[in-house]
């Protein structure tokens, strides 16, 4: 009796297994079989942020493309930002690469060096429909590796400083001028730092957090030299930049110290900090949610001018694509056509990478703060991170140890940066040897 029931249960399990995995196997072993004849399916990998709004924008853009190109359908593979790189690499390794992929900036050199994305330099240069001069120069930089173009830029994003006009007015401090310097920033931040109830605890900070890279770059300093082979974080300009951030936090206490930042939410949004680093990605939600008057100003100038750390979205074509021409059509649509650039601008994602369209489409958007034109004016002068190299994440992790100690006010800035320089150089030497080993040279 028991054996009979056991057999029934066993058979049910086997049938369930076949029913569950059989169709999956059939679909994934031949993904094209559900696609109508004459139609090409393109797969593109994208990431979604914490909201569904970004995903909806992409769907609208893809729909517009498919309406114009009925012979192509797009399969969009969304992945959360945090696991995007792993997912993309798994697809490449699993020999099921997407036709096109969004790239995180530091991924482009890695994927290009591994030969898994197309070098588009010649194709783009010989394309009469595409004029690269229409792009902001920095937009092409973020798509390049070793002077070759491995993708096209869809949008650009650089930091600005948002400020709370109400808090400025309350403190009687003049709004920042477009050509302000880091000294001006310190002075203003100090004026806006308040302990209203005199209990020894700061009630309002001059600014929320600082993008250290902006300070370094505008001061003519960077972690690595031009070819990313040596650490340069012990140069006087670099030390001066780091010391400036440290002083702002510890000497003037115009920005929160590390322990004051843990888990307490965004002080700018809570009107407890008068200034905040932000970018175009913040504008839509801030316009909607902030219940105080605010505007933006460009990041301050340093000794080397107003050098802004720039991000953007390069889109690349996988070398494993079987539909290069169709993929290239989609790439051009996403990154060059006015229709796609308008959609992404109007739906509030980012600034178009095309200079002409940024002014024409993005600037007049009603959600923008009053001084958005100053931000767009500065875009021609933007530059990307000078040198990432192939081991950027390791270099950054090593530098962060020193940064943590300095920002905890525990060590001497100069000595610590010298130590980090030595450590990063050792690390780069080791990595270079590994890379030579990989290439068999």
Partner 1 sequence: MTLRQKRELFYGLLFVSPWIMGMLMFVLYPVLASLYYSFCYYSVLSEPKFIGLGNYFDLFTDSVFWGSVLNTFYYAVFALPLGIAISVTLAMLLTVKVRGVTIYRTIFFLPSLLPVVALAILWLWIFNGEYGVLNFALSKLGIEGPNWLAEKNWAMPALIIMSFWGVGHMVVIYLASLQDVPQVLYEAAELDGASWWHKARHITLPMISPVIYFNLIMGIIGTLQIFAQPYIMTGGGPARATLFYTMYLYDNGFRYLRMGYASAMAWILFIIILLLTLVATRISRKYIYYEGG
Instruction: Give the whole-angstrom CA distance, residue 238 versus residue 129.
Output: 44
Q: Is 63 in contact with 340 (CB distance < 8 Å)?
A: no
Least CB distance to partner 1 at residue 264 (A): 6
Nearest alpha carbon to residue 99 among 45, 28, 154: 45
Enumerate residues 6+ apart whose C-beta is below 8 A from 152: 120, 124, 143, 314, 315, 331, 332, 334, 335, 336, 353
Q: Is 150 in the site for partner 1 (CB under 8 A)?
A: no
| Strand 148-149 relative to strand 144-145, pairing | antiparallel
Whichever of 52 and 401 has its CB closer to partner 1, that residue is 401
Least CB distance to partner 1 at residue 140 (A): 24
Whichever of 133 and 410 has its CB closer to partner 1, that residue is 410
CB atoms within 10 A of CB 405: 16
Q: Is 55 in the site for partner 1 (CB under 8 A)?
A: no
Whichever of 63 and 430 has its CB closer to partner 1, that residue is 430
Instruction: Give the whole-angstrom CA distance, residue 280 versus residue 154.
Output: 14
Nearest alpha carbon to residue 294 among 139, 150, 169, 204: 169
Least CB distance to partner 1 at residue 411 (A): 9
Out of 56, 86, 121, 183, the residue judged to bind partner 1 by CB under 8 A: 86
Only one of the segments 132-140, 242-250, 377-385, 431-439 lies at the binding site for partner 1 (rule: CB under 8 A); that segment is 431-439
Instruction: Give the whole-angstrom CA distance, residue 271 versus residue 175.
Output: 16
Whichever of 126 and 263 has its CB closer to partner 1, that residue is 263
* Interacting positions 157-216 with partner 1 (CB under 8 A): 201
* φ and ψ at residue 233, rounded to 5 degrees: -90, 15
Whichever of 111 and 317 has its CB closer to partner 1, that residue is 111
Whichever of 294 and 392 has its CB closer to partner 1, that residue is 392
Least CB distance to partner 1 at residue 83 (A): 9
* Interacting positions 392-411 with partner 1 (CB under 8 A): 393-394, 397, 400-402, 404-405, 408, 410
Only one of the segments 25-33, 290-298, 335-343, 389-397 lies at the binding site for partner 1 (rule: CB under 8 A); that segment is 389-397
Out of 42, 116, 189, 245, the residue judged to bind partner 1 by CB under 8 A: 116
Q: Is 370 in the site for partner 1 (CB under 8 A)?
A: no
Instruction: Give the whole-angstrom CA distance, residue 19 versus residue 214.
Output: 56
Nearest alpha carbon to residue 295 among 113, 167, 143: 167
Instruction: Give the whole-angstrom CA distance, residue 161 versus residue 180.
Output: 11
Instruction: Give the whole-angstrom CA distance, residue 104 versus residue 8.
Output: 52
Q: Is 259 in the site for partner 1 (CB under 8 A)?
A: yes
Judged by the rule CB under 8 A, the positions of this chain that interact with partner 1 are 3, 6-7, 9-11, 13-14, 17, 85-86, 89, 92-93, 110-111, 114, 116, 201, 257-260, 262-264, 391, 393-394, 397, 400-402, 404-405, 408, 410, 430, 434, 437-438, 440
């Amino acid at each position: 009796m028991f054996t009979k029931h056991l057999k029934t249960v066993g058979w049910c399990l086997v049938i369930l297994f076949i029913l569950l995995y059989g169709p999956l196997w059939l679909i994934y072993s031949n993904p094209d079989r559900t696609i109508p004849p004459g139609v090409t399916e393109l797969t593109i990998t994208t990431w979604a942020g914490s909201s569904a709004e970004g995903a909806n924008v992409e769907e609208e853009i893809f729909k517009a493309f498919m309406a114009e190109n009925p012979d192509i359908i797009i399969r969009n593979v969304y992945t959360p930002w945090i696991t995007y790189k792993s997912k993309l690499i798994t697809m490449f390794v699993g020999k099921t690469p997407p036709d096109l992929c969004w790239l995180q900036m530091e991924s482009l050199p890695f994927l290009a060096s591994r030969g898994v994305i197309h070098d588009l330099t010649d194709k783009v240069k010989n394309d009469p429909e595409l004029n690269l001069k229409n792009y902001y120069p920095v937009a092409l930089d973020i798509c390049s590796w070793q002077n070759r173009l491995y993708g096209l830029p869809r949008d650009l994003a650089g930091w600005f400083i948002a400020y709370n006009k109400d808090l400025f007015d309350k403190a009687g401090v003049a709004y920042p001028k477009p050509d302000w310097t880091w000294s001006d920033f310190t002075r203003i931040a100090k004026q806006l730092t308040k302990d209203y109830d005199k209990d020894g605890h700061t009630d309002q900070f001059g600014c929320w957090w600082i993008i250290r890279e902006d300070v370094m770059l505008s001061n003519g300093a960077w972690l690595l030299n031009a070819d990313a082979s040596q650490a340069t974080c012990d140069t006087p300009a670099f030390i001066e930049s780091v010391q400036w951030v440290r002083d702002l936090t510890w000497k003037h206490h115009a920005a929160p110290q590390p322990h004051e930042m843990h888990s307490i939410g965004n002080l700018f949004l809570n009107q407890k900090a008068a200034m905040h680093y932000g970018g175009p990605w913040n504008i839509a939600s801030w316009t909607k949610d902030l219940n105080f008057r605010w505007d933006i100003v460009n990041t301050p100038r340093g000794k080397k001018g107003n050098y802004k750390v720039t991000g953007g979205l390069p889109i690349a074509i996988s070398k494993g694509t079987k539909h290069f021409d169709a993929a290239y059509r989609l790439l051009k649509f996403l990154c060059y056509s006015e229709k796609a650039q308008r959609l992404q601008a109007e739906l509030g994602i980012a600034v178009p990478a095309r200079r002409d369209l940024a002014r024409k489409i993005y600037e007049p958007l009603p959600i923008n703060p009053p001084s958005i034109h100053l931000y767009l004016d500065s875009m021609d002068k933007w530059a990307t991170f000078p040198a990432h190299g192939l081991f950027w994440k390791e270099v950054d992790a090593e530098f962060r140890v020193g940064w943590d100690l300095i920002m905890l006010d525990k060590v001497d800035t100069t000595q610590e940066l010298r130590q980090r320089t030595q450590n990063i150089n050792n690390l780069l030497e080791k990595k270079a040897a590994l890379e030579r080993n990989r290439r068999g040279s």
